[in-house]
Structure 1
């Protein structure tokens, strides 16, 4: 089982990291792999209530790799930690299969109470560099967490979230979710998926529409004012001319 775990994890690194040129290079030079392997040992001791031994092994792994994984955390198969420095995974965190974590990622807790207080990450999730996923929340399958995002609420499956606090960006329809794909650093490169740009574009469209409506209203008001002025001028012209003499008027006798 350990050999199969090691073999498939190395294969995952080779498939996703173009810088990995050989199995031996991954085995010797990838601290993310070392941290996950040492975590399996620490987790074995932790499950058998040898808590101090588990903590000590995880402490040694942190010193050697810069990656801190609590021995109580559950890590799935083919979990990749790229670059790795500064990654923190808390005690009650659950990480599924084929999860990809970048450096400075934190799966942290927001409560001082014992019990489940760290995130659960489903299969095939990518969490970008510097992202903070906090609390007892669920990150759904195929989700993408953008770099430096702060996630404090559940993320549905097939959803990409970015920003502080993290907000979803559209990618496909709800009835036809997008096919899972690899997004480097969990961040979509298409600028149209930026929620801030989308909001700015929406406001710009509303402003253009409002300006057009105001221009039409001003034209109608101007036309209405011109008609009233014309009608008023037409009513004043007979008054200026005065009363006209008719054929039936008799001449006025003069003394």
Structure 2
């Protein structure tokens, strides 16, 4: 147990440049507290002591601002940065080395039964305010941009941004697990720029046609 707790704190030092001392991380990082509370709640949940499990998860939510359903399955070295407003649903499955920022929702899309929450594979990064909804899979080393809404599967080594989420990088170099989650391409802005370029070209063509017609009229 203590090895796992130390491993969790080591991840904080790897991911958060503001972390200074173990005692500071141990006492003040709500993401760690929510993960540790979840492990206790999940143990009760697996023993079918659902009421006790939910009480523990709700107490943790009250103190940390992070809601993790006790039924969720979470791997090792899971890092929640800041964490306020993070929601993780009951049938969510999270792999190892996953990073989640504040305001992220890993939720369902309705009242369906069975597997209704996302599966997040190893080394994925979910940026601030992203909403991943339904029984979909976020691939290994995938990166979801801030504020994105993802409703479909995301392949491995892929970057997705926008509403709804659009793939902007795939089958390239492996996505780095760093904190530069704001440096992600904007497909909407790129499309607008492309449309503006086409408009400029059309205007140039129209100007040429008008000039040509004017020359013909003058010659007549």
Aligned equivalent of 2:182, options 187, 191, 198: 187
Q: 1:30 to 1:151 in 2, by over 3 A?
A: same
Say whether the 8 Å CA contact 2:70–2:90 is kept in structure 1: yes
Superposed CA offset, 1:164-209 (max 9, x none):
222233x4xx45x1232135373325xxx21222112101211122
In structure 1, the residue matched to 2:50 is 51
* SS of equivalent residue, structure 2 residue 106: strand
- Please, what TM-score do these two structures have when normalized by structure 1? 0.79
In structure 2, the residue matched to 1:116 is 115
Say whether the 8 Å CA contact 1:99–1:126 is kept in structure 2: yes
Q: State yes or no: 1:28 paired with 2:27.
A: yes
Q: RMSD across aligned C-alpha pairs, in angstroms?
A: 1.9
In structure 2, the residue matched to 1:159 is 158
The gaps in structure 2 that reach 5 residues or longer are none
Say whether the 8 Å CA contact 1:120–1:136 is kept in structure 2: yes
* SS of equivalent residue, structure 1 residue 186: coil
Structure 1 segment 92-103 matched on structure 2, within 5 A: 92-103=91-102
Say whether the 8 Å CA contact 1:87–1:105 is kept in structure 2: yes
Q: Mark the structure with the bigger radius of gyration.
A: 1
CA–CA distance in structure 1, aligned partners of residues 180 and 81 of structure 2: 10
Say whether the 8 Å CA contact 2:158–2:175 is kept in structure 1: no
Aligned equivalent of 1:207, options 178, 199, 206: 199
* SS of equivalent residue, structure 2 residue 128: coil
The gaps in structure 1 that reach 5 residues or longer are 230-255
Between 1 and 2, higher relative CO (CA 8 Å, sep ≥ 6) is seen in 2
**For this pair of structures, how many residues does the alignment match?**
220
* SS of equivalent residue, structure 2 residue 5: helix
